[in-house]
Amino acid sequence: MQIVSKVREPLVTGGKTYKDITEDVCRPVEGNPSMGWFAGMAVSLVLLLAGGVFLADLLWSGIGRWGLNKTVQWAWDITNFVWWVGIGHAGTLISAVLLLFRQKWRTSINRAAEAMTIFAVICAAIWPVVHMGRPWIGGIWALPLPNTYGSLWVNFNSPLLWDVFAISTYFSVSLVFWFIGLIPDFATIRDRAIKPIPRFIYGALSMGFNGSAKTWMHYESVSLILAGLSTPLVLSVHTIVSMDFATSVIPGWHTTIFPPYFVAGAIFSGFAMVLTLMLVTRKLYKLEDYITMEHIEMMALVVTITGSIVGIAYITEFVIAWYSGVEYEQYAFVNRMTGQYWWAYWSMMACNVISPQVFYFKKLRTSIPFIFFISIVVNIGMWFERFVIIVTSLHRDYLPSSWLYFNPTIYDVMCYVFTFGLFFTLFLAFAKYFPVINMAEVKAVLKDSDSKVYQSRRTISNDVVPEADKVPVDL
């Protein structure tokens, strides 16, 4: 049997040159915003302002405005917190882990994914602050309080405090990594700027980057160091978030599978959000030659793999509950599937386990409208996952007299809408004033994606190659 190696599709199409890349990426930054950008920003600002009105009233009146009750004291607040932290996971994975593994397909999507990470973490941080009830004195509570027998410190044994350190570290490193990657592109925009104000702003942001060999050497060294620092954070951040639940004794939460389960789910939802944003950005800014079907197909495959891991985790939870022999643990999982929140559980299963499997079919994972639809479905399913884990484990405790059903109020919904408005406002502002694609890294892979080079490589693998020139491989 004879095998001829196939050549992977180019990462940059359309016969682009270095000048073309600079022009295409800088055009949205230097030109006037399009009508699509204005429409998106208008919708985002409406969501931000409408949600902000309810959020302000909540801060004035207290979190009793939410639908919390004496049994379900965590609901949409912690659900949205975990969901937004999960959304921010794909950025670090794409920018750091794939950089260390030298995956070239990351080059066109890493910039937007890193920005998504930062904005998602900002949205996540809103929820614990609001949950304080009186956040203007929350900073005082976090400090050592004077006491007769010594200062009263926060509880360092609490995973809620571990969250503070983990997420703040994650945000800081991600922000620095994102900014360092922007410096060469800021220098390009600085050199192209005609008006003095943009030249001054982008000149300050570029931090004196001059494109010399020594400057590039320092840039590459810092990028690798930050990638090495960021890689453990991909695993540690959502591991610690999962310990908010795993270190408790509540049936349905007290399980050791949560850390890998939460990490896989975070990557799953993060890549789905990257797909959602990049498909819109690709169309809005006409970047089809840079965000190609090769990039989209690779992300769809990552979504399929991580979705399968999450599905295995769901099944494992039931098996472990059965094997434990603890009737309370068994009831917690049976109640999820057949209790009052059965609709949330089966929505989660349909969105997270069943829907990604369609990407095994190449025709479906190369259909832009279908991929966009599935990416939204996946994030809906991941929100339901967090809701199911949190609320169904709380609304049935050991005392039947305490059993209550959680009903969200308009304040739960609108505070969530506020974070959506904030997220998309920040992302659209980023897409207008910052280059949404990493010009320097895309230029680095341009030679391998050159149309003439690609066509010559394709010739080697075509069926028209003479049989004598083919290398036989014995299987």
Quick: pLDDT tens for 191-201.
998 889 989 99
Closest CA to 131 of 61, 57, 59, 48: 59
The CATH class of 18-136+156-461 is: mainly alpha
Mean pLDDT for the stretch of residues 423-437: 92
Is the pLDDT reported for residue 468 higher than 50?
A: no
Provide the Cα torsion 348, 354, 359, 363; round to 10°.
-120
For 195-245, write each residue's pLDDT tens digit.
Answer: 899 899 999 999 988 888 899 999 889 988 888 888 888 788 888 888 888
Distances (CA, A) of 89 to 52, 74, 119, 231: 26, 23, 11, 11
For 303-354, write each residue's pLDDT tens digit.
Answer: 999 999 999 999 998 899 899 888 888 898 899 999 899 999 999 999 999 9
Average pLDDT, the chain: 85
Confidence of residue 453 (pLDDT cuts 50, 70, 90): very low
Which token pair is 344? Answer: 């949330």
The per-residue pLDDT for 456 is: 47
Domain boundaries, the chain: 18-136+156-461
Q: From CA 273, how far away is CA 89, in angstroms rounded?
A: 10
Distances (CA, A) of 468 to 2, 456, 462, 465: 11, 18, 14, 8
Residue 355: how many CB atoms within 10 A of its CB?
20
For 355-362, the CB contacts below 8 A with 24+ separation are 355/307, 355/381, 356/268, 356/303, 356/304, 356/307, 356/308, 357/304, 357/307, 357/308, 359/300, 359/301, 359/303, 359/304, 360/304, 362/297
Mean pLDDT for the stretch of residues 147-153: 70
Burial of 114 (0-12, 13-18, 19+ CB in 10 A): buried
Is the pLDDT reported for residue 11 higher than 90?
A: no
Whether the Cβ atoms of residue 407 and residue 67 lie closer than 8 Å to each other = yes
